[in-house]
Amino acid sequence: MKLRVEGIRKAFGQESVLKDIHFDAQEGKFLSILGDSGSGKSTILKIITGLVEPDDGRVFLDGEDITHKDPAQRGIAYVFQSPLLFPHLTVYENIAFGLEVKKVSKSELQKRVSELLSLLKIEELASRYPAQISGGQQQRVSIARALATKPSLILMDEPFSGLDPTLRMEMGTLIKSLQELLHLTIIFVTHDVNESLRLSDQIALIADGQILQTGDAKSVYYRPQNQIVASFMGGGNWIKGIIEQGVFSCDFGEFQAKNFLDGEASLFLRPHQIALNKNLKSDIVKIEEIRRLGKEIQVDVLREGVKLTIETFDDHRYDIGDEVGLEFPKIALHYVN
Amino acid sequence: MGKRIIHKKTILLLLPILLLYGVFIGGGLLGVLFESLGYIPSLGLNNLTLEHYLDIFLDRRFIESLFFSLYIALASALISTILGVLIAYRLMITTNRLWRYMTDRVLQIGLILPYLYVVFLTMLFLGKTGFISRIFLNFSWISSLEDFPRFVFDPYGFGIILVYVLKGTPFIALFVLNIMSSISTTYHQVATTLGATESDILRKIYLPLAANTISWTSAILFTYDLGAFEVPYLLGTNKAVTLSSWLYSLYLNPHISEIPASMAMNILLLTIGALSVMIYRWVIKSILMGGR
Amino acid sequence: MKKIITGIIILLISLPMILTFLLTVFTYYKYPQLLPSQLTFEYWNNFFFKNPLMIRSVLNSLFLGLMNGTSSTIVGFMAGRALSKQKENRHTRTMLLYSLPLFIPATALFIGVHLIMLRLSFTNTYLGVVLAHMVLSVPYSTNIGISFFKGIPSEMEQVARTIGCRDFNLFKKVILPLITPGLLFSGSICFLLSFSDYFAAALIGGGKVITLSALLYPYINNADYGNSATLGIVFVSINIGVFFITERITKRLTKVNTYLFE
């Protein structure tokens, strides 16, 4: 395991920013730290690089305790929110900076920089100055610069937040492909849920200075451990009921609950996990509201005081006041006690 | 070059400064120029001639004095600049509030102290009968007055350079601190994550970005050290004389026949000075930019 | 540990001042005694009562400093206003032009100034000395003026104009408050430049306009410790006093950074 963060605490003055942070980053995998602004995610990165000292806790890289090591010696690259290219150096020189500082030989330097220029597809920009290229191009240079010294770990702090949505998608795809190609270990901080789901192998959700849940995209999305995590990843439905001997009973029927403890529980279903069916005659619900979201619609239905939100494709079949039946998934259901 | 719109208001606003410079600087230098060419109507000299320039070039004392002046100016300005930049950089990266505040204050006081007072203090402390010499004698580190090295009134201009450096370093440090603070500290963080040491960051990032201001301020210092006369006059010797001190004493007690020659020396001081300043500034800037 | 170092530094720095002060009240300082002896009030008596020239020179210098501070600031800020609208690439060239006096060796510069003063019969007058000091100070006041005027967002003026503010009112209500810290800063710098100057005042003031520096100079030249120290203390106290008082006032007005030769 590549990076381990244990028990990190950090307060700035009176404000406690990080309360008790634990997580691991696996070698060659893409980990996102997902959270709102102010949740402390940038601070975690800064502690890992060494630009900020934690009040308590440890950071281990490849087994070595680097908690108090000089940031210049850690071999961890950091891509900031804004490209921060050195304005007085050309693109080529910017990328070469880390190598020059290590006194790498000229020929090796040239080789490496050319490699990166073509990987990031910015060959023709080599002799330009930062002021002469666009924001997106600057960010590519910034990434190339970070990769130049073959760091063992790459941290990215919301690197695409200043870019427009299409560019943002492109850059995300580029990073992901680079990561897979070069077997890089990346920790990526963002507040964009979709980006995180799309690119990550692992997601760590952070709120209020604590890691709420870690896991791969699927588990965090479909099996949130509590309400906060669930609502962070988008809306969902909680259906209350009771589990007895592996069976969950509620107003909407009985469902499989094999590996869950007996007692009161809520069934968690994402809006698109439930389907509407006009042909069902039993267990009818009434459509209260329809919201159009482009190609999908969100439908709120009501039955005996319980409201559910369902997402489905818009094929113009439903109207407010219609009575429809619901189809529920049969397997891999998730419950929270 | 585009269209130039010069409003009436702009001209009005610039009038005082243009008048001031035009009359006193422009007029003054023209006057000196003419007198140097031998044209002083009030004394009956009505011919333009270059003979005075020739006389000076052949005068050995002039050449010696010129080189001495350039040496003093160069040494003082360079040392002040190096010290000032290092102090400014160190100050900028220190997070300790107490150190920052104290150094800031000390630098400010250094800036405000008048040159004459600093000259006085130098004489008081470093003279042969100065305070430090007295301490040495009382502690038996020297056996007599003669053994204490000559720091002021010495042929190498040590005292002069010291005063210039004591005054020049705060000047540079405060200006450079100002410009360095405006360079985003995040560049510092970026460079650190790329593996750069403090010295790397200073040399490769801050110095190139601040090169303009540093070389400009250093050039001002160089000119001052070249052209001021009080310090070398008070702390110098009869043998090693700076051009400015020499010119001052000539101007005070003019022999009529010597006036055109002294004016010519003024012009030469001016032109050689201006040239040296330009070269100096260009060299400093190139060094700071890392030969870019 | 920190306290020891701080203590040593403070000691080293105040040592000169302490020694200077001692020299103003003790008259016997033969080598190799460490500290002067024989208490006397002769020097201070001289300063305040016996030698009227001393107090007069202080007043002269204060007056000249005040005059220079005001006029240089006005000229500099006028020029600064006009030049602040310039674009960045022309900036260095203009900077060179208004900073011209700083790149001309002082001796040559002021001998030239003196020649013109002779022509205009400004020598031995207060006006002459002030004008000479202005030549020295205007580069700084212009620079400060430019940076302060640049700091006023141009939209502010435009907005004020659209609500009917005419030129003078605009100046008084909008611009003036914003540049006041700069005016004070420039004023204090120009005051200090004038107050500390020896050469221009001695050359152009002649025997008539005697400044504190002009009086101090011969005492130092003759190694008259007592009188040099006395005048020196007065000199430094006024310098430091003026600087820090201005700083206080400016801080109270606003929290504004002061930029010099950006």
Residues in A closer than 8 angstroms to B289, CB to CB, are 88
Q: How many angstroms away from the CA of B204 is the closest CA of chain A?
A: 9
Residue B172 has pLDDT above 90, yes or no: yes
Runs of H (alpha helix) within A190-335: 193-199, 217-222, 227-232
Cβ density class B234-262: b for 16+ within 10 Å, e for less: bbbeeebbbbbbbbbebbeeeeeeebbbb
> How far, in whole angstroms, is CA A88 from its chain's centroid?
34
The Cα diameter of chain B in Å comes to: 77
Measure Cα distances from A136 to A112, A141, B261, C20 in Å. Answer: 22, 9, 66, 64
Q: Is B33 among the domain residues?
A: no
pLDDT at A85: 92
pLDDT at B101: 84
Residues in B closer than 8 angstroms to C102, CB to CB, are 220, 223-224
Contact of chains B and C by CB distance (3 or more pairs under 8 angstroms)? yes
pLDDT at A47: 92
**Architecture category of domain C54-254 in CATH:** Orthogonal Bundle (1.10)
Given B14, B226, B263, which is nearest C79 (Cβ)? B14
Given B186, B196, B209, which is nearest A80 (Cβ)? B186
| pLDDT confidence band for B74 (50 / 70 / 90) | very high
Best mutation target among C4, C83, C111 (most B Cβ atoms within 10 Å) is C111
Confirm if A18 and A40 have CB atoms less than 8 A apart. yes
pLDDT in tens, B76-107: 999 999 999 999 988 888 777 778 888 888 88
The Cα diameter of chain A in Å comes to: 77
More confident residue, B196 or C250: B196
Q: In the structure encoding, which two tokens stand for residue A23, read together?
A: 């997580």
Q: How many residues does chain C have?
A: 262
Q: How many CA atoms lie within 13 A of B84 on its CB side?
A: 34
| pLDDT confidence band for B4 (50 / 70 / 90) | low
> Residue range C140-160: average pLDDT?
82
Choose among B276, B288, B273: nearest CA to B213.
B288
Residues in A closer than 8 angstroms to B186, CB to CB, are 80, 84
Q: Is B24 among the domain residues?
A: no
Confirm if B172 and B110 have CB atoms less than 8 A apart. no
Q: How far apart, in whole angstroms, are the C-alpha atoms of residue A226 and residue A230?
A: 6
Confirm if C82 and B10 have CB atoms less than 8 A apart. yes
pLDDT at A249: 86
The Cα diameter of chain C in Å comes to: 76
pLDDT at C75: 93
Best mutation target among A89, A103, A156 (most B Cβ atoms within 10 Å) is A89
Q: In the structure encoding, which two tokens stand for residue C245, read together?
A: 């008082």
A88·B191 Cβ contact <8 A: no
How many other C-beta atoms are found inside a 10 Å radius of the C-beta of residue B6?
9
Nearest CA in chain A to B200: A101
Enumerate chain B positions whose Cβ falls within 8 A of a Cβ in A.
Answer: 184, 186-187, 189-197, 200, 204-205, 208-209, 289, 292
Q: Is B7 among the domain residues?
A: no
Q: Supply the range of the domain harboring residue B90.
A: 53-288
Strands annotated E in chain A? 3-12, 15-25, 30-34, 56-61, 64-65, 76-79, 153-157, 186-190, 202-207, 210-215, 237-244, 247-250, 253-256, 263-269, 275-277, 284-293, 296-303, 306-313, 323-327, 334-336
B190·A49 Cβ contact <8 A: no
Choose among A88, A14, A80, A22: nearest CA to A51.
A80
Q: How far apart, in whole angstroms, are the C-alpha atoms of residue C225 and residue C237?
A: 18
User: What are the backbone dihedrals phi and psi of residue A83, each rounded to the nearest 5 degrees, phi first?
Assistant: -55, -35
DSSP letter at A123? G
Q: Is B39 among the domain residues?
A: no
pLDDT at C262: 30
Residue B1 has pLDDT above 50, yes or no: no
pLDDT tens for each residue of chain A, 337 residues long: 688 988 888 988 888 888 888 888 989 999 999 888 878 888 999 999 998 889 999 999 988 898 888 888 888 999 988 889 999 999 999 999 999 988 889 999 999 999 999 999 899 999 999 999 998 899 999 999 999 988 989 999 999 887 888 989 999 999 999 999 989 999 999 988 888 889 999 999 988 888 888 888 888 888 888 878 888 877 788 888 888 888 888 888 888 888 888 888 888 888 888 888 887 777 788 888 888 888 888 888 887 778 888 888 877 778 888 888 888 888 778 888 7
Q: Is B230 among the domain residues?
A: yes
Nearest CA in chain C to B137: C32
Query: From the DSSP assignment, how many helices (H) and strands (E) are in chain B?
Result: 14, 2
Residues in A closer than 8 angstroms to B190, CB to CB, are 78, 80, 84, 86
Q: How many CA atoms lie within 13 A of C120 on its CB side?
A: 19
Q: Is B16 among the domain residues?
A: no
A86·B187 Cβ contact <8 A: yes
Given B175, B229, B243, which is nearest C260 (Cβ)? B175
B192·A71 Cβ contact <8 A: yes
Please tell me if residue A71 touches chain B, with a CB cutoff of 8 Å: yes
Confirm if B126 and B132 have CB atoms less than 8 A apart. yes
| pLDDT confidence band for B3 (50 / 70 / 90) | very low
Confirm if A232 and A193 have CB atoms less than 8 A apart. yes
> Residue range C104-114: average pLDDT?
91
Q: How many angstroms away from the CA of C158 is the closest CA of chain B?
A: 17
All residues at 6 or more sequence positions from B99 whose CB lies less than 8 Å from its CB, including other chains = B91
Q: How far apart, in whole angstroms, are the C-alpha atoms of residue A24 and residue B95?
A: 32
DSSP letter at C28? E
Residues 66-125 in C contacting B (C-alpha not used; CB under 8 Å): 74-76, 78-79, 81-83, 98-109, 111-117, 119
pTM over 0.80: yes
Measure Cα distances from B261 to B56, B66, B267, B275, C172 in Å. Answer: 7, 15, 10, 21, 53
pLDDT at B199: 87
Residues in C closer than 8 angstroms to B9, CB to CB, are 82
B28·C13 Cβ contact <8 A: no
Q: How many domains does chain B have?
A: 1
First to last CA, chain A: 32
Q: How many residues does chain A have?
A: 337
A-B CB pairs within 8 A amount to: 56
Q: Is B244 among the domain residues?
A: yes
pLDDT at C103: 92
Nearest CA in chain A to B193: A72
**A269, β-bridge pairs:** A237
Q: How far apart, in whole angstroms, are the C-alpha atoms of residue A283 and residue A306?
A: 13
Give me the long-range contacts of A139-143 (CB less than 8 A, separation at least 24). A139/A79, A139/A83, A139/A163, A139/A171, A140/A171, A140/A174, A141/A83, A141/A85, A141/A91, A141/A94, A141/A95, A142/A79, A142/A80, A142/A83, A142/A84, A142/A85, A143/A79, A143/A175, A143/A178
Backbone dihedral region of A62: left (phi > 0), alpha (psi from -120 to 50 degrees) or beta? left
List the A202-207 sheet strands across, edge first.
A64-65, A56-61, A3-12, A15-25, A210-215, A202-207, A30-34, A186-190, A153-157, A76-79
Rg (CA), chain C: 22
Position of tokens 């409003």?
B7
pLDDT at B5: 61
Q: In the structure encoding, which two tokens stand for residue A322, read together?
A: 């219609």
Return the top range by mean pLDDT from B128-142, B151-165, B247-261: B151-165
Cβ density class B13-28: b for 16+ within 10 Å, e for less: bbebbeebbebbbebb
Verify cis geometry, omega within 30 degrees of 0, for the bond prior to A83.
Answer: no
Q: Is B137 among the domain residues?
A: yes
pLDDT at B291: 58
> How far, in whole angstroms, is CA A36 from its chain's centroid?
11
Residue ranges per domain, chain C?
1-40, 54-254
| pLDDT confidence band for B24 (50 / 70 / 90) | very high
Given C34, C114, C260, which is nearest B138 (Cβ)? C34
pLDDT in tens, C49-98: 888 888 889 999 999 999 999 999 999 999 988 888 777 677 788 888 99
Q: How far apart, in whole angstroms, are the C-alpha atoms of residue B226 and residue B148?
A: 29
pLDDT at B2: 41
Q: How many angstroms away from the CA of C15 is the closest CA of chain B?
A: 10
CATH of the domain at B63: 1.10.3720.10
Q: How far apart, in whole angstroms, are the C-alpha atoms of residue A189 and residue A30?
A: 11
Choose among C114, C82, C132: nearest CA to B21.
C132
Residue B280 has pLDDT above 50, yes or no: yes
* Average pLDDT over all residues of chain B: 86
Confirm if A153 and A25 have CB atoms less than 8 A apart. yes
B187·A80 Cβ contact <8 A: no
Q: In the structure encoding, which two tokens stand for residue A184, read together?
A: 């890089």
**A309, β-bridge pairs:** A300
Residue B177 has pLDDT above 70, yes or no: yes
- What is this model's ipTM? 0.86
Q: How many angstroms away from the CA of A171 is the closest CA of chain B?
A: 21
| pLDDT confidence band for B6 (50 / 70 / 90) | low
Q: How far apart, in whole angstroms, are the C-alpha atoms of residue A88 and residue A122?
A: 19
